[in-house]
Structure 1
């Protein structure tokens, strides 16, 4: 069955294109807030964000009858570029979107002008297994990635053992509670703004229950990522991590160490999300990174 991906773009189409790849189970506007996107467009970039399949306004499926893999989700990003007539773009990925961005940079270097990875883990290190072991209380084997922060582990342990939110009000309250944990505690948490965002995301989604299909796609193949390949990345790379990252602490340095010539930017107070106080810093860093192609 044909997949339909919802996209939108900002800025002048004559400007250098920037493709924003959201995290797992995240809508485009969830990972990439309007103000942040606006800063990039105002800085002279053609910015494209999109909803992953089974999120937001993109098509949803019955996974049992129409399954897919994370390779398919990765290929969706390339299809977005094709649809917009773009041969090569500055690729920016957040969280699991950062894994997809790294994967694209490895497999399709001709499509990646520069690479920016935010709040992500190194490709091929099975970050999902690290989180799963942490949630199950299992010991991490030697050489594993650093585990999530205790507050992150406790929140998602409780989520596993409690009934999912059913009503609109419960779902919005859950999104706010999750955002508080992902904020990492390094910056003031604006609950009113988070509520407005959660209400918007809830009401624009075609089917919120379809988000779980991303977990099914990952569970179907926990080792989907190619390993030992980051040293082949040719695109100039910027890796960004917050000092209060709760989900993937210390993973940014590992990515930067594996990609030749990669730069690491640590953002003070930032957690896992692009909170308003750091959006200017992030946008400025990406604009500077995408000015000159250092091949």
Structure 2
């Protein structure tokens, strides 16, 4: 698309309603697991996952000096369904991808069939009626205050250990399946020519103007899925999204932290997504 290449993979029949999965910071498409995508496809959805800029097989930029902006990441999500011939898509965004998806839905209502937000927080300024949202947990704040050295991005095991440590840091009370995380992180490393480039995502937003759209501008049917034990965006952040987006529905994910829904929650998440996208299409 334009001056960048975006790597995509689809599951299911192209004639089914399209779902576009929008990942979080540093996350290649691999974190939307094969089994999760296959379950949605088996339920009659055409599921598309993709590598955001600087992850996987998509275009990478100089490490520590990305020449694109958060606005460009947003534009990718707007343009991708058209490039794939999908038309309006059901957007499913997690964390940073949830923030991007909110703005896309607010600015481009004709491009969004429905919106699902997972483990994210309001991406637009709140009005006078928004209560102050709770900060990250004290434990997480302490870890951020004492950052550990980053991984050796050229070493597969070092990068896997980095993502595994992050999973433990952001998890709730559900046990972390270390073999599962190691498998996903290893696959992401193997698919990424420049694994270190993914950290460029943390540099986005510097010097950019804040978005002026409002959650009240979102007209797409919206589902909010939020972990009850999210240490970065406590559950009240999900409640704020559901309160400020007209007609939104909030579904709690018990025991989940700030993370991709683990397989223990797939029954809940897949059922909610299928019902939500079916209702939006009806």
Task: Answer yes or no: same fold by TM over 0.5.
Answer: yes
User: Equivalent residue for 1:134?
Assistant: none
Q: Report the equivalent of 2:104.
A: 104
Q: Gaps (5+ residues) in structure 2?
A: none
Counterparts of 1:92 and 1:191, CA distance in 2: 25
Hey, what does 2:156 align to over in structure 1?
168
Contact 1:253 1:264 in 2 (8 A): yes
The within-5 A match list for 1:142-157 is: 144-157=132-145
Q: Partner of 1:242 in structure 2?
A: 227
**In structure 1, what is the equivalent of residue 241 of structure 2?**
255
Question: Could you list the per-position Cα deviations for residues 169-202 of structure 1 after superposition, in whole angstroms to 9, with x for gaps in the alignment?
Answer: 2221111110112222x21221122222221111
Q: 1:203 aligns with which of 190, 201, 213?
A: 190
1:104-123 correspondence to structure 2 within 5 Å: 104-123=104-123
Matches of 1:158 and 1:38, distance apart in 2? 39
Deviation at 1:62, TM superposition (A): 2.2
Q: Secondary structure at the match of 1:292?
A: helix
Alignment of 1:1-295 (within 5 A): 2-30=3-31, 32-62=32-62, 67-125=67-125, 144-159=132-147, 162-166=148-152, 167-184=155-172, 186-221=173-208, 223-227=209-213, 229-249=214-234, 250-273=236-259, 274-293=261-280
Residue in structure 2 matched with residue 138 of structure 1 by the alignment: none
Higher mean C-alpha deviation, range 11-20 or range 275-284: 275-284
| TM superposition score normalised by structure 2 | 0.91
Q: TM-score, normalised by structure 1?
A: 0.87
Q: C-alpha deviations, 1:35-62, integer Å up to 9, x for none?
A: 1111110100000110110111111012
> Is the alpha carbon distance of 1:205 and 1:220 closer, same or farther for their aligned partners in structure 2, counting shifts above 3 Å?
farther
Task: Check conservation: 2:150, 2:162, Cα contact below 8 A.
Answer: no
Deviations 1:128-178 (CA, angstroms, capped at 9, x unpaired): xxxxxxxxxxxxxx954321122322333333xx43211332221111110
State the Cα distance separating 1:279 from its structure 2 match. 1.7
How many residues of Structure 1 are paired with residues of Structure 2 in the alignment?
274
Structure 1 unmatched runs, 5+? 127-141
Q: How far 1:33 sits from its partner (Å)?
A: 1.6
* CA distance in structure 1 between the aligned counterparts of 2:254 and 2:65, rounded to whole angstroms: 45
1:113–1:235 CA contact under 8 A, matched in 2? yes
Hey, what's the Cα distance between the residues in 2 that align with 1:208 and 1:69? 19
